[in-house]
Amino acid sequence: DTEVTQTPKHLVMGMTNKKSLKCEQHMGHRAMYWYKQKAKKPPELMFVYSYEKLSINESVPSRFSPECPNSSLLNLHLHALQPEDSALYLCASSPRQGEPYGYTFGSGTRLTVV
Amino acid sequence: AQTVTQSQPEMSVQEAETVTLSCTYDTSESNYYLFWYKQPPSRQMILVIRQEAYKQQNATENRFSVNFQKAAKSFSLKISDSQLGDTAMYFCVFMGNNDMRFGAGTRLTVKP
């Protein structure tokens, strides 16, 4: 299995809702990442997990809450989002944090906040 | 901090022709890696090619090759025999001691 699987592919949520994005990989990678990508822009790093521990938080608002329950799974819990949070959320993984072999990306979750 | 600059927001090329996408970067690190990723309309980011800064030889992957000029901090991507499936957003990416940093991207359209 050489894929990163993200669910759901599309999500529409209200500003008072609570939802979660899920990312899964079975490649034995020990680093996992969340990126946010606005339309026609490059991805922006949000969080990095290394060996299931939060390694980097790029000053992301607390309405985004990451969780890494095991080495294969990465969640992003969403609460009280704003319309400007609408974006494509990409998950990626790599064998180790900082290993220069490139990341494997998922296809993303298209999030719309209404 | 390192920055990655892609000066061509959009480009187009005829099918079967060759096109070159430009990228420059700024860093004080001596050991780093450079990548080109493509993102087609399907949204998934796909690794196209990878270059180690300590290697002078330019990387090639089938129809894709790079022109890596370390002193000039330049890393361009050449696509030969362009195909309709090459239509995508292309990102130049720098990786040093920390995580990956993306350029703004070049939207490439291959025309039949």
Which of A56, A102, A107 has the CB atom closest to B50's CB atom? A102
The DSSP bridge partners found for residue A112 are A12
Q: Cα B54 vs. chain centroid, distance in angstroms?
A: 18
From first to last of its 114 residues, what are the pLDDT tens digits of chain A?
779 999 999 999 999 999 999 999 999 999 999 999 999 899 999 999 999 999 988 889 999 999 999 999 999 999 999 999 999 999 999 999 887 778 999 999 999 999
Identify from B2, B8, B43 which residue to disrupt to test chain A contact, counting A C-beta atoms within 10 A and taking the largest count.
B43
Asked if B2 has any chain A CB less than 8 Å from its own CB, the reply is no
Locate the chain A residue with the closest alpha carbon to B35: A102
What gap in Å lies between CA A102 and CA A2, rounded to an integer? 13
pLDDT digits (tens, 9 = 90+) for B32-50: 999 999 999 888 899 999 9
pLDDT digits (tens, 9 = 90+) for B66-106: 999 999 999 999 999 999 999 999 999 999 876 788 999 99
- CB burial class (10 A; 0-12, 13-18, 19+) of residue A51? exposed
- CB burial class (10 A; 0-12, 13-18, 19+) of residue A105? buried
Asked if A107 has any chain B CB less than 8 Å from its own CB, the reply is yes
Q: Other CB atoms closer than 10 Å to residue B5's CB: what's the count?
A: 13
